[in-house]
Amino acid sequence: MSDTVILAPDYQPVNYLPLSTIDWQTAIKLFFLDKIQVLEWYDDWVVRSAKLEMRVPAVAVTKKGFGKNGGMRFSRQNLYLRDLFTCQYCGDTFNGKQLTIDHVLPRAQGGTTTWENCVAACKECNSEKGNKVWRPNKAPVKPNYWALVNSVKSTYTGIRHPSWNLYLGLKDNDSKIAKNR
Ligand SMILES: [Zn+2]
């Protein structure tokens, strides 16, 4: 579960993709291990054990460790985000289940699974394309961090606590974030 947002020591999210969240049990464990500093607590979410009663952290900063890795990790979700859930051949928008990863230069011809050789394609286009080489609407490139962050802002809907908007730089309210996923 995504209960607590984790920020790096510079107060930036450790990872947008997947969003760096942890479940509340882990958050409380890290808190007692003195690994995180809690910035925001849920007002209305209290957990109890035999010995203790406490609110659940909503946003926390790591004291050190996690670190931000420079390059964006290639993954299905990140690729769809880069392409804004749009098939790069027919130009229609789909949800994640209807999309596939298409190798621009097919694997059979030595195409690699990399940012530069993969695009989002709907199932129909992908099967029609087969082992042919089609030119995608947008030349695939490795996205930079902020480009993906902007994609997340326009597609992310999993806000659990109002303060997340602030820490994630998500100024828009949820109603404006209405991408079909
Ligand atoms: Zn298509």
Question: HEC states along the chain?
Answer: CCCEEEECCCCCECCECCECEECHHHHHHHHHCCCEEEEEEEEEEEEECCCCEEEEEEEEEECCCCCCCCCCCCCHHHHHHHCCCECCCCCCECCHHHEEEEECCCHHHCCCCCHHHEEEEEHHHHHHHCCCCCCCCCCCCCCCHHHHHHHHHHHCCCCCCHHHHHHHCCCCCHHHCCCCC
- For the record, the structure tokens of 83 come out as 């392409």
Q: Give the number of other Cβ atoms within 10 Å of residue 139's Cβ.
A: 10
pLDDT for res 74: 83
User: Which of 11-15, 69-73, 115-119 comes out lowest in average pLDDT?
Assistant: 69-73
Q: Is the pLDDT of residue 104 over 90?
A: yes
pLDDT for res 69: 44
Q: What is the 123 CA–ligand 1 centroid distance (Å)?
A: 7
Q: What percent of the chain has pLDDT over 70?
A: 69
**Range of 50-64, 100-114, 131-145, 154-168 with top mean pLDDT:** 100-114
Q: What is the 120 CA–ligand 1 centroid distance (Å)?
A: 9
Average pLDDT of the segment spanning 116-125: 97
Instruction: In whole angstroms, give the CA distance from residue 36 to residue 45.
Output: 19
Q: What is the 40 CA–ligand 1 centroid distance (Å)?
A: 43
Q: Under a CB-based contact definition with an 8 Å cutoff, are residues 115 and 83 in contact?
A: no
pLDDT for res 145: 61
Average pLDDT of the segment spanning 160-178: 55
Q: What is the 37 CA–ligand 1 centroid distance (Å)?
A: 46
Q: Is the pLDDT of residue 181 over 50?
A: no
Q: What is the 90 CA–ligand 1 centroid distance (Å)?
A: 4
Q: What is the 153 CA–ligand 1 centroid distance (Å)?
A: 24
Which tens digits make up the pLDDT trace of 22-78? 888 888 888 888 888 888 899 889 988 877 788 999 988 877 644 344 456 788 888
